Amino acid sequence: MAGPAVSTNAFDPSERLAASARRIDAAELASRLPDIVIRAREVAATVVHGAHGRRRAGMGENFWQFRPFGAGEAAHRIDWRRSARDDRLFVREREWEAAHSYFLWMDCSPSMAFVSSLALEPKLDRALTLGLALADVLMRGGERVGLLGLAHPMSTRDIIERLAQALLAAGAAASGELPEAVALPGGAKALLVSDFLCDPQALAQRLGALAANGASGALLMIADPVEETFPFEGETVFLDTDSHAQLRAGRAQAWRDAYVERLAQHRDEIAEAAAGVGFSFQIHRTDRPAAEAALSLSFALAGRSERG
Whether the predicted pLDDT of 3 surpasses 70:
no
Q: Of residues 91 and 133, which shows the higher confidence score?
A: 133
Instruction: For the chain, give the number of residues.
Output: 308
Return d(Cα 182, Cα 180) in angstroms, integer.
6
Per-residue pLDDT, 258: 92
Q: For residues 219-238, give the mean pLDDT.
A: 92
Per-residue pLDDT, 283: 97
Q: Cβ(126)–Cβ(223) under 8 Å? A: no
Q: Domains in the chain, please, with CATH?
A: 27-54+100-301 (3.40.50)
**Cα 185 from chain centre:** 19
Per-residue pLDDT, 172: 60
Classified as helix, coil or strand, 237 is: strand
Q: Of residues 21 and 88, which shows the higher confidence score?
A: 88
Phi, psi dihedrals of residue 63, rounded to the nearest 5°: -70, 135
Q: Of residues 27 and 22, which shows the higher confidence score?
A: 27
Read off the pTM.
0.76
Q: Residue 36, exposed/middle/buried by CB under 10 A (0-12, 13-18, 19+)?
A: buried
DSSP states of 184-232: PPTT-EEEEEE---S-HHHHHHHHHHHTTTS-EEEEEEEE-HHHHH---
Q: For residues 109-131, give the mean pLDDT.
A: 93
Return d(Cα 118, Cα 35) in angstroms, integer.
20
DSSP states of 73-133: S-GGGB-HHHHTTSSS-EEEEEHHHHHTEEEEEE--SGGGG-EETTSSS-HHHHHHHHHHH
Chain mean pLDDT for the chain: 80
The residues with which 8 forms a beta bridge, in sequence order, are 116
Q: Quickly state the pLDDT bin for 87 (edges 50, 70, 90).
A: confident
Other Cβ atoms less than 10 A from the Cβ of 297: the count is: 24
DSSP states of 49-67: -GGG----TTTT-SEEEEE
Q: What letter would DSSP give residue 251?
A: S
Measured CA distances, 190 to 42, 183, 215 (Å): 22, 11, 8
